[in-house]
Amino acid sequence: MSAPTFRFCVHERRLAICRLAAAAAMPAWATGSFVTTSRTKDELSIVCAQAHVPAGVQHERDKIAFGIEGTVPMTTIGILASLCGALAAAGVPVFVISTHDTDWLLVSADRFTAARTALEGLGHHFTGAVPLA
> Residue 4 — pLDDT band, cuts 50, 70, 90?
confident
Quick one: what percent of the chain has pLDDT higher than 90?
A: 90
Ordered by start, the domain boundaries in the chain are: 7-127
CATH number 3.40.50.620 is the correct assignment for the domain at 7-127: no
Give residue 106's Cα distance to chain centre: 3
Q: Give the model's pLDDT for residue 132.
A: 82
Please choose, from the candidates 10, 12, 40, 44, the residue with its C-alpha nearest in 3D space to the C-alpha of residue 29: 44
In tens, the pLDDT along 74-127 reads 888 999 999 999 999 999 999 999 999 999 999 999 999 999 999 999 999 999
User: Does residue 34 or residue 73 have the better pLDDT?
Assistant: 34
Contacts 24+ apart (CB under 8 A), 32-38: 34/65, 36/97, 36/99
Q: Give the model's pLDDT for residue 51.
A: 97
Phi, psi of 78 (to 5 degrees): 90, 0
Q: Is residue 93 a contact partner of residue 80, using CB atoms and an 8 Å limit?
A: no
Q: What is the pTM of this model?
A: 0.93
